[in-house]
Amino acid sequence: SAVISQKPSRDICQRGTSLTIQCQVDSQVTMMFWYRQQPGQSLTLIATANQGSEATYESGFVIDKFPISRPNLTFSTLTVSNMSPEDSSIYLCSVMRASTDTQYFGPGTRLTVL
């Protein structure tokens, strides 16, 4: 497995503002992902963070709303832009090494938008 940290762990934000969430891994990983878990619901993949290139977004998610960076093999950020109350969710990053086929998840960032 890997040790994964996320910052912040939680935040309360005003609508119309943006929040950047950081994901740090203790060792190099092949792939990094960002998921959203809306209140009382399951996890949905937002995008795959690609090192050195643009992220790959799932249907229903766009770069203008959720810009993602991955400058190296151990770090990624997700920004939630122009937030509305509907963006209130837990945002989780996950990582995977190609040799294991297993995704490991960070502790999540609980976001509340007022």
Judged by beta carbon, residue 28 or residue 82, the one nearer other proteins is: 28
Residue 53, helix vs strand vs coil: coil
Instruction: Choose between 30 and 84: whose C-beta lies nearer to other proteins.
Output: 30
> Which residue lies nearer to other proteins by CB, 14 or 53?
53
Query: Cα(9)–Cα(111) distance, rounded to whole angstroms?
Result: 9
Helix (H, G, I), strand (E, B) or coil at 86: helix
Task: Kindly state the smallest distance separating residue 87's Cβ from other proteins, in Å.
Answer: 19
> Please, which residue, 75 or 104, has the CB nearer to other proteins?
104
Strand-pair partners of 12: 112
Min dist. Cβ of residue 77 to other proteins (A) = 17
Binding-site ranges for other proteins (CB under 8 A)? 1, 4, 31, 33, 41-45, 48, 58, 92, 94, 96, 101-108, 110
Q: Tell whether omega for the bond before 8 is within 30 degrees of 0, i.e. cis.
A: yes
Work out how close the CB of 89 gets to other proteins at its nearest, in angstroms, rounded to a whole number. Answer: 13
Task: Report the SS3 class of residue 87.
Answer: helix
CA distance 73 to 93: 14
**C-beta of 65: minimal distance to other proteins in Å?**
19
